[in-house]
Amino acid sequence: MAPPTSSQIKPGRTLLVLLAIILAMGAATILQKAFIPKFGLDLAGGTTVTLSPETLDKKAPPEESLNRAVNIIRDRVNGTGISDAQVAKSGSNILIQIPGAGQEQAQKLVTTAELRFRQVLAIGPAQDTPAPLPSAAPSGSPAATPAGSAPAASSEPSASASPAGRALSKALTAPSPSGTAQPEPNTSASPGASTEPSALPTSRATTPPADDPLAGQDLSGIDPAVLQQFKDLKCSATNFGQGQQDDPDKQYAACDTSGQIKYILDKAAVRGTELADASAGTDPTTGEWIVQVDFKSAGATQFADVTRRITTLPQPRNQLATVLDGAVIVAPTINEAIPGGRARISGGFTQVTASDLADQLKYGALPLKFVTSSVVSVSSTLGADQLRGGLISGAIGLAIVMLYLLLYYRGLGAVGIASLGVATIVTYLSVAVLSENAGFRLSLPHIIGLVVSIGITADSFIVFFERMRDEMKEGRRSMRAAVEVAWRRARRTILVADAVMFIAAVVLYFLAVGDVAGFAFAMGLTTVIDVVVVFLFTKPLMSLVARTKFFSKGHKLSGLDAERMARAETSSQTMQEA
């Protein structure tokens, strides 16, 4: 027996590729237990958060700043555009509706995340009875420093964060403000190299007097009002001043997020608006999770300038604090200038907490300060009845299309029905996987887009079938030859039609928001699925069935018999003449 030719093998291989894709998506759905997609606000309810702006002069915020804040928050809560979250202005407030989220989760998503980089001017314990503040032992290592030492920064400044993702580790404490031997920075160290101090302070660390945590420190240049603010500031692990409004153009007293240390900070040297990007990843050396931040050109220059300026200053003025929402999350010692516009925060992160912080920073610092004026759980506006109605309408439409295919194409219609079945399976698995991994939430606009796609998918293989029948009329070609010739002609038409539909969906998705964007996403998704099914299933299946006697000999029930195709041609000519 002669070995099969490549043309005989290709259809089977193509079908196996599609089967592998379906099995992979099915395995992901089973492993993640994502059998039912997550629903949107109209089907599952969620949480409504109202944010009210606060300005330093207590006046109404500028409209431009409010619009920018709406865009930033929309990107933050609906970064992929498919989560069905709604963000809109309501007077001077911002109304946010997040599907399926509890109140705690919703508040976390709308955290304002105002970021500043400020030089440390003075430091002290936050408790009334302070423990000794250990002296500094700088190191350029990106890892978290051991207990009893303060971190230092190299070309990629390191920070230590709590498991909450934004809190300073309890192991990270500040150097003694007085009576310590100060290490000399290693100015010859190359970027990224470890910088060892010339002398390590040991027994000369002292404890500031309990009644004056700033005793012995250089207080020159500090605003007296800020000194008083520092003395009055109360910190704890559960209430460390986070969310306070800090004016970037003024000095500021703040707690660290462990609630153990408080700082006097200079004016903001770099603001969060100068961040170009932030991403979560792992350190290739240690494997720990880090948050990498990249500055814009102006921010990179500002960051390099402040790190260069403070390297030669004594402790604690050679520390640069990262302040998020008014609280210090890290204050590393800077031992050398850090050019290049790139820094990182590391130590104590998990994948989730690193991603959370990166998302908060990535979408930009808000131009206004907001307070949460209300958080309300809302029920679904449509619910199970409307979902059931949408699914029933889709099933009815699918059944009508299948019935038409059987009546008009007979046996050939079975190939079309099989194609629709495969498209339905791929669509369901795609929705399930996207729901679990990309924040996709199924709402009524999505369902409408999926139902409309039934016609798009059916139209593609109808074009193919008609091209094939044209080639077979009057016995000009065998079915096997007709399939190949018809496919070469039909695929151009299919690709052009789907390309037009996909471009329309993309444009609508990027120009619209909310429900309209959801409809556009569903339409674009099903257009891609249509191309996959037609190329990987319908055409290979037709190549296989063309080898059977039932179709190749033109059985009366195949839909390819000469009499039926002749009637179809006569009907077509009559319609053209009319």
- pLDDT computed for residue 263 by the predictor: 93
Check pLDDT > 80 for residue 310. yes
- Region 62-66: what's the mean pLDDT? 83
pLDDT value at residue 128: 55
448-467 burial, b at 16+ Cβ within 10 Å, e below that, comes to bbbbbbbebbbebbbbbbeb
CB-based contacts of 407, cutoff 8 Å, min separation 6:
413
Contact in structure between 114 and 326 (CB atoms under 8 Å): yes
pLDDT bracket for residue 498 (50, 70, 90): very high
The pLDDT value given to residue 383: 66
Regarding predicted confidence, which is higher, 264 or 69? 264
DSSP calls for 56-88: TT-SPPPHHHHHHHHHHHHHHHTTTS-S--EEE
User: What pLDDT score was predicted for residue 56?
Assistant: 67
Residue 334's CB: how many other CB atoms inside 10 A? 28
pLDDT at res. 207: 44
Q: What is the mean pLDDT of the chain?
A: 74
Asked whether the beta carbons of 423 and 457 are under 8 A apart, the reply is yes
Q: Which residues pair with 372 in a beta bridge?
A: 51
Q: Which of 388-397, 413-422, 562-571 has the lowest mean pLDDT?
A: 562-571
The yes or no reply on domain 11-35+380-566 and CATH 3.30.360.10 is no
Architecture of domain 46-112+373-378: 2-Layer Sandwich (3.30)
Question: What confidence tens digit (pLDDT) does each residue in 207-239 have?
Answer: 444 567 788 888 999 999 999 888 888 887 655
Flag whether pLDDT at 435 surpasses 70.
yes
pLDDT of residue 355: 80
136-171 tens-digit pLDDT: 333 333 333 333 333 334 334 443 333 333 333 322
Q: Bigger pLDDT: 391 or 170?
A: 391
- Has this prediction a pTM greater than 0.85? no
Please tell me the predicted confidence (pLDDT) of residue 131. Answer: 42
pLDDT digits (tens, 9 = 90+) for 569-578: 555 555 445 4
Structure tokens at 114: 């105002």
367 preceded by a cis bond (ω within 30 of 0): no
Q: What percentage of the chain has pLDDT greater than the value 70?
A: 72
In this prediction, residues 479-503 reach a mean pLDDT of: 90
Instruction: State the Cα–Cα distance between residues 357 and 324, nearest whole angstrom.
Output: 10
Contact 464, 107 (CB under 8 A): no
Give the residue-averaged pLDDT of 195-202. 30
Pick the CATH number of 115-127+222-364 from 3.30.1360.200, 3.40.50.2300, 3.40.50.300, 1.10.540.10: 3.30.1360.200
Parts of the chain belonging to CATH 3.30.70.3220: 46-112+373-378
Q: Is the four-CA dihedral 109, 112, 117, 119 of positive or negative sign?
A: negative
Residues forming CATH 3.30.1360.200 domain(s) in the chain: 115-127+222-364
Per-residue model confidence as pLDDT tens digits over 93-138? 888 888 876 666 666 666 655 678 999 999 988 865 444 443 333 3
Q: Find the range with the poorest average confidence among 35-49, 191-205, 249-263.
A: 191-205
